[in-house]
Amino acid sequence: MKPHFGVDVDGVLAHHLPAMIEIVLELTGLSVSPDQVTDYYFAGLIARDQMEQVFTRCMERAMELPPMADYHLVNELPGAVTIVTHRPAEVAEQITKEWLHQHGIRYDGIVFTKGRKSETGRFDYFIDDAPLNALDLAASGATTYLMGWPYNRDSHFGEHDHRVVRVAGWQDVKSHLESIQAWPHRLS
Ligand SMILES: [Mg+2]
């Protein structure tokens, strides 16, 4: 059976951190460097309720987010791909689909969830950047690629750590899949 890949959007396909930092500056006047962001919710930098405003404003600019380097490898993943995002469907579904289309990203399914990503399907592999999602998915048995960002560099996953593969980008995902013979070599 073909493996099932789950793929997140922000921080995995869309390069969101510079936009978030820009919005933090606009909303709070606080100038933050990427290295200072040691927590997914900018803890220690801005209040949690302000962070919700940052996420909301980020969605208003979702079309402008640049894709991550080598993001096109998502179209070569050797299996079925379901995009699974915590972006709120009510404001982000249309714009997210348009953005994916604009960048030529193909997928077999797309899910907008407010709950645990592991409950949206049975995944063999998942690519995400948020530590809580990585823990959830690794605990569910998925091999979980964690895209490296300043806000997840100190994350640990306890007994599930062995299922979390830290990657610097999409090329690393491909290399790891090749190393476990899960990326078929094609004659060209
Ligand atoms: Mg994300």
Which residues have a Cβ under 8 Å from the Cβ of 185 and sit 6 or more positions away?
A: 178
How close is the Cα of 160 to the center of ligand 1, in Å?
Answer: 19
Alpha-carbon dihedral sign for residues 176, 167, 109, 100: negative
> Is the same domain home to 123 and 35?
no
Query: What pLDDT does residue 184 have?
Result: 87
Asked whether residue 96 is domain-assigned, the answer is yes
How close is the Cα of 101 to the center of ligand 1, in Å?
Answer: 18
How close is the Cα of 40 to the center of ligand 1, in Å?
Answer: 9
How close is the Cα of 164 to the center of ligand 1, in Å?
Answer: 15
> Is the same domain home to 82 and 173?
yes
Number of domains present in the structure of the chain: 2
> Is the same domain home to 56 and 115?
no
How close is the Cα of 33 to the center of ligand 1, in Å?
Answer: 19
> Is the same domain home to 21 and 97?
no
> Is the same domain home to 47 and 104?
no
Query: What pLDDT does residue 1 have?
Result: 82
> Is the same domain home to 101 and 166?
yes
Asked whether residue 110 is domain-assigned, the answer is yes
How close is the Cα of 30 to the center of ligand 1, in Å?
Answer: 23
> Is the same domain home to 173 and 157?
yes
How close is the Cα of 14 to the center of ligand 1, in Å?
Answer: 8
HSE on the CB side for 53, CA within 13 Å? 12
How close is the Cα of 85 to the center of ligand 1, in Å?
Answer: 7
> Is the same domain home to 48 and 71?
no
How close is the Cα of 182 to the center of ligand 1, in Å?
Answer: 24
For ligand 1, a single-atom ion, which residues have Cβ within 5 Å? 8, 10-11, 129
How close is the Cα of 59 to the center of ligand 1, in Å?
Answer: 13
State which residues of the chain have pLDDT below 70.
Answer: 186-188
Asked whether residue 188 is domain-assigned, the answer is no
Query: What pLDDT does residue 188 have?
Result: 57
3-state SS class at 53: helix
How close is the Cα of 150 to the center of ligand 1, in Å?
Answer: 13
> Is the same domain home to 110 and 143?
yes
Residue indicated by tokens 């990585």: 134
How close is the Cα of 12 to the center of ligand 1, in Å?
Answer: 6
- CATH number for the domain that contains residue 151: 3.40.50.1000
Asked whether residue 186 is domain-assigned, the answer is no
Q: Please tell me the distance from the alpha carbon of residue 62 to that of residue 69, in angstroms, as a whole number.
A: 17
> Is the same domain home to 87 and 56?
no
Q: At which of 64, 87, 102 does a domain end?
A: 64
> Is the same domain home to 164 and 93?
yes
Residue 128: domain span: 4-14+65-179
